[in-house]
Structure 1
């Protein structure tokens, strides 16, 4: 009977996840012993992993472009297709990062609202003060993490735009002159990707610290 109950809860969670009803999803997860704090940690971890994946994709695109501007013969159409594939992969990875950050922000808001509401249930003034202090400290650390995540996210758009411009230009100008024109844009793109990498590394570091702190507090 217990297995059936867990299976039913799992199916409910899946249904609610697909329907996008987050509040009901959190309730269903809590019914099987998974609380908002656990979900938040899991989602921060997922965001960190998606950022690491996006770093790899952007780095791959940069390496492909480096090869392209040093193009010394061969089939330029193949080089274009490879660069286009790298752009598409980078775009998909960037979208995954944004989706994960949005999920992190959603569950954090739900957790902090719940935590604040439950402060009113205390009868002990000292325990209430202590819990409120922990709530405020956790919120401050999370706000720093979210700023770090959003800062890195904002750096993706100019890189994607530049990659798209290069891919689009090359698509319609498969010749040596096109490669020369792309060379003129390369230094700016390389700088933007480095800035993105730096921000991603900062966000990943903040994520690790936040996860560590949440696990300690838990």
Structure 2
């Protein structure tokens, strides 16, 4: 099913119309609720990959702090590559979260509109209650995701500072200066990972309510 949706997505890329994408998906029996679950899982995957990449960037800086000889330019190249990969990983997290939010908004709007189609007052009330509960759980998950996303920016800025400083000062003094910053960076990476783990746990709970 995901392969089919990828084809649909590529076919609609030029239009940039998500509503057309959802309509085409529903034509093949792939509804917004299922798309939402898949996108939440994709967001979880991107968060896990970001955790690994931030940890890798931190480890590369640790190698620099412990530097005891060799070509500093080679070390710089590795530090820059790790920063670039961390930025890409962070961008992927943001993109996936935005994708989750887009389909969730569409699903909730549709659900709200379709409440008017009920003839049974009892069934409508039950559906309204389910909608309210689902939205509440979704909001909790999205908040956790956005909080984790926000924690990435300070880390990226520190990584960029280190990369720039090393670029312009390829000497032992630069290594020493970066070493003084390492403890703060390490703490921020730990906080990012903790926030992402919270977001992933919230995502697991939300997915369980939809399946």
Normalised to the residue count of structure 2, the TM-score between the two structures is: 0.95
Equivalent positions of 1:1-218 (< 5 A) are 13-215=9-211
Instruction: Give the Cα–Cα distance (whole angstroms) in 2 for the partners of residues 77 and 53 of structure 1.
Output: 27
Instruction: Give the Cα–Cα distance (whole angstroms) in 2 for the partners of residues 109 and 144 of structure 1.
Output: 14
Q: Against the structure 1 CA distance between its residues 18 and 208, is the aligned structure 2 distance closer, same or farther, given a 3 Å change threshold?
A: farther
Deviation of 1:13 (Å): 4.4
- SS across alignment from 2:12: helix
- Segments of 4+ moved more than 2 angstroms: 9-14
Instruction: Give the Cα–Cα distance (whole angstroms) in 2 for the partners of residues 71 and 19 of structure 1.
Output: 51
Q: Is the 8 A contact 2:8 2:25 kept in 1?
A: no
Q: Is the 8 A contact 1:169 1:178 kept in 2?
A: yes
Q: Is the 8 A contact 1:13 1:29 kept in 2?
A: no
- SS across alignment from 2:117: coil
Q: Is the 8 A contact 1:145 1:203 kept in 2?
A: yes
Deviation of 1:212 (Å): 1.4
- Listed one character per residue, the Cα deviations across residues 22-64 of structure 1 (whole Å, up to 9, x for unaligned) are 0111001001100000110000000000000000000000111
Q: Is the 8 A contact 1:80 1:171 kept in 2?
A: yes
The residue that corresponds to 1:4 in the other structure is none
Normalised to the residue count of structure 1, the TM-score between the two structures is: 0.92
CA RMSD of aligned residues (A): 1.4
Unaligned runs of 5+ in 2: none
